[in-house]
Structure 1
Amino acid sequence: MKIFTTQSTKLLDRLTIEYEPVSSIDLMERAAEALTSEICNTISPSQRIYIFAGPGNNGGDALATARLLIDRGYKPVVYLFNTMPNHRLSADCEQNRERLRRTGHNDFFEITNQFTPPVVNSGDCVIDGLFGAGLKEPLTGGFASLVRYINESGAFVISIDIPSGLFGEWNPEASEDRIVKARLTLSFQMPKLAFFFAENAKFTGETKILDIRLHPRAIAETETCYYLTTAEN
């Protein structure tokens, strides 16, 4: 199996959009459907769920997943952190915000300034959709505080694609209190390079790889220096 860097994974998405063809928002919906199916196999509708979505595509995945969970009878409390300069969301995150708004779901909150965290305890589930593998700087300020709050809550944490705060490749100076500690990480198509370092296991917890049907030609044509090999029986 090929293992790709974060930059190469972005290329895989672009090539899948071109080759299939499929729109970016529909590819995100495909990822959300895979996430929703796995979450429904893990968490019951009666469990309280808090979804924390960031301003980028990881947040878009989280918002789309929230909408699909609502369709299946779940009642998540959803927070979108639109706190970046000029309150700019990625295009797909913005579109999924509008789709979620149109559901009329009452427990959806868009945070643009001050945030008072909900009371999250060990019996709850947190779905972490704050930041993806493309993060290049350690989390600071409010996001670092939110990560600490999540980690201290004792909740069952599910991270989308990668725990927020963890870089997709190398984490030589990882600060434990700035990275979400997930119990379950649901990653797309193939593992991240970061998953192969033993010191990151305390962040990723159990990892499951979800097939979102990236185009086989895109995978075949995209070069990489990294491969996962297994012994034949």
Structure 2
Amino acid sequence: MKIFSKEQIYEGDRLTTERQNISSTDLMERAGTQIFNWIHSRMQGAQVPVHVFCGIGNNGGDGLVLARHLITHGYNVVTYIVNCSDKRSKDFLINYDRIKDTTKNWPIMLSCGADFSEIVIDEKDIIVDAVFGIGLNRLPNDWVQELFQRWRASKAFTLAVDIPSGLYSDKAVEDENAVVHANYTLSFQSPKLVFFLPETAKYTIQWEALDIGIDRDYLIQTETEVELISKFEVLPLYKPRQKFSHKGDFGHVLILGGSYGKIGAVNLASRAALSSGAGLVTAYIPKCGYNSMQAALPEVMVITDDNENNITQINFDIEPTVIGVGVGIGTTDETAKAFEAFLKKNKLPLVIDADGLNLLSKKKTLLKLLPEQTVLTPHPKELERLIGKWSDDFDKLKKVKAFSKKYKVIVLIKGANSITVYNDKLYVNTTGNPGMATAGSGDVLTGIISGLIAQGYEPLAATIFGVYLHGKSADISLEDYGYQSLIASHIIDTMGEAYIDLFKQPEQPQEEEQQEK
């Protein structure tokens, strides 16, 4: 799914009215009606008090359309106008007149600075936030902030129209008290990037995109900087196997890493590479890990360094397709020298994780030695060592894009919604859960991505697909283990189910099944 920028959303609205020969008011009616349909299908006429707070711009106009439909369908509605400016949009004014023609209970005008004595909201009520939309570019004033805090204090379910009020679509939050904390956001046509960033995701617990009929050609043909990755985006990447294929068709992964006490990292990465579909896997480790690797993973070949405890030289006589390097490797001086010497002669695709990243951070001139489209998979602290500190999530993304372009590498920003960055493009993953916050998860991911590259996936596709499979496997494992008991090995164990799930059809909702009966 494409995630459109603010400017692209405005252009989509404009082209839709032009190409479909409708007015902007008609488009607003369509948007507000879709919000109503969503609520109506869930409430089914229930008389829970609904408080619709409307700003005086187009977001407020959407709210007025919703309120009017709720009223005409017999819901218990109170409508408020958050009136803090003289600049009312044309479509807001049209819908303000329409709602006054619909009911004798006109919207309550909340003039800026007035007290909130007329507002009584119970914990069991519903608040609809339609105050500010994506056009907001400055901090709401103290009075509006107080209103938002009253909503939060009420503990009522809060539904945001398009975006939580006070949340910018394209820059960081200045004051969290100035942002609505929504339980659910109904976003028009596509979600907003801020729903997936660590600092701003907390402002909406859940979201859903509503189709409001934006011009299809525009949606299909417009290139976006951000894409949201789910099953439907990765399924076209999948490479089916032919009947007469053999292990040599699916590449050879070399997992290079390990040190005394950290051979398990190589074990996990090697297992994951096999489970992702690699034809052959070899582990290159210090001597101390030889017996444990051979015993634990009979499917994996093993080459050892001459040193007992650390990697001190990297020499092998095999011809791998891809090398996953860094898991458990350590950062001793001898290992650092071996790593540098390896990079100077290597021409093969690389996936670099963990201490491999830390070694790059210690000597950043090594970054120039990386083959084009090398995959780097840092967690937040490793990323900071690579690109420096950032002021907020938008600054972080800007710096990662610049880093990616400078060194021609793919950077995976690991997190709740891991983001793959290549040049100016961002791919936001949707699978995964908090149970993955456990030792070894990153080693598994290194193995999966390496295994996919070995099978012939381009590094960018392998990263996007690998992150999806990694998260999906963890989601499947969650059903048996829960957040606390999920461990990295479980993610490998359910890789097969993650692949199978790609081809499962969505289950039919129970309501529809009952209606058919």
Write the letter of the residue equivalent to 1:180. V
- Cα deviations by residue, 1:34-59 (Å, 9 ceiling, x for unpaired): 10011123345310111110010000
The 8 Å contact of residues 51 and 78 in structure 1, kept in 2 or not, is answered as yes
**TM-score where L is the length of structure 2:** 0.43
Aligned to 1:164: 165
The 8 Å contact of residues 99 and 106 in structure 2, kept in 1 or not, is answered as no
Aligned to 1:55: 56
Identity %: 36
Work out the CA distance in 2 between the residues paired with 1:157 and 1:129. Answer: 11
Work out the CA distance in 1 between the residues paired with 2:14 and 2:30. Answer: 15
The 8 Å contact of residues 131 and 165 in structure 1, kept in 2 or not, is answered as yes
Aligned to 1:71: 72
1:174 Cα offset (Å): 4.0
- Cα deviations by residue, 1:93-144 (Å, 9 ceiling, x for unpaired): 0100000000123152123342424121211110000001221112222111
**TM-score where L is the length of structure 1:** 0.93
Aligned to 2:451: none
CA RMSD, 1 decimal:
1.6
The 8 Å contact of residues 133 and 163 in structure 2, kept in 1 or not, is answered as yes
Aligned to 1:96: 95
1:63 Cα offset (Å): 0.5
1:155 Cα offset (Å): 0.4
Work out the CA distance in 2 between the residues paired with 1:12 and 1:42. Answer: 29
Aligned to 2:177: 177
What is the 5 A alignment of 1:143-222? 143-171=144-172, 173-222=173-222
Ranges of 4+ aligned residues in structure 1 off by more than 4 Å: none
The 8 Å contact of residues 54 and 129 in structure 1, kept in 2 or not, is answered as yes
Aligned to 1:131: 132
Q: Which has the larger radius of gyration?
A: 2
Work out the CA distance in 2 between the residues paired with 1:3 and 1:157. Answer: 23
Residue 42 to residue 205, structure 1, CA distance change in 2 (3 Å): farther
Work out the CA distance in 1 between the residues paired with 2:199 and 2:8. Answer: 24
The 8 Å contact of residues 100 and 106 in structure 2, kept in 1 or not, is answered as no
| Residue aligned with 1:35, SS | helix
Aligned to 2:387: none
- Pair 1:35 & 2:39 matched: no
Write the letter of the residue equivalent to 1:16. T
| Residue aligned with 1:47, SS | coil
Aligned to 2:122: 121
Work out the CA distance in 2 between the residues paired with 1:131 and 1:155. Answer: 19
Work out the CA distance in 2 between the residues paired with 1:201 and 1:46. Answer: 31
Write the letter of the residue equivalent to 1:140. N
| Residue aligned with 1:59, SS | helix
- Cα deviations by residue, 1:171-202 (Å, 9 ceiling, x for unpaired): 2x442211111111111101111112133232
Aligned to 2:47: 46
Comparing both chains, which one has the higher relative contact order based on Cα–Cα distances under 8 Å and sequence gaps of 6 or more?
Answer: 1
| Residue aligned with 2:150, SS | helix
Write the letter of the residue equivalent to 1:9. I
Work out the CA distance in 2 between the residues paired with 1:201 and 1:229. Answer: 17
1:205 Cα offset (Å): 1.4
| Residue aligned with 2:200, SS | helix
Work out the CA distance in 2 between the residues paired with 1:72 and 1:104. Answer: 12
The 8 Å contact of residues 140 and 178 in structure 2, kept in 1 or not, is answered as yes
What is the 5 A alignment of 1:99-110? 99-106=98-105, 108-110=107-109
The 8 Å contact of residues 187 and 210 in structure 1, kept in 2 or not, is answered as yes
The 8 Å contact of residues 161 and 188 in structure 1, kept in 2 or not, is answered as yes
Work out the CA distance in 2 between the residues paired with 1:105 and 1:29. Answer: 21
Q: Unaligned stretches of 5+ in structure 1?
A: none
Work out the CA distance in 2 between the residues paired with 1:189 and 1:59. Answer: 18
Work out the CA distance in 2 between the residues paired with 1:125 and 1:201. Answer: 21
| Residue aligned with 2:160, SS | strand
Write the letter of the residue equivalent to 2:157. F
| Residue aligned with 1:52, SS | strand
Write the letter of the residue equivalent to 1:70. I
Write the letter of the residue equivalent to 2:2. K
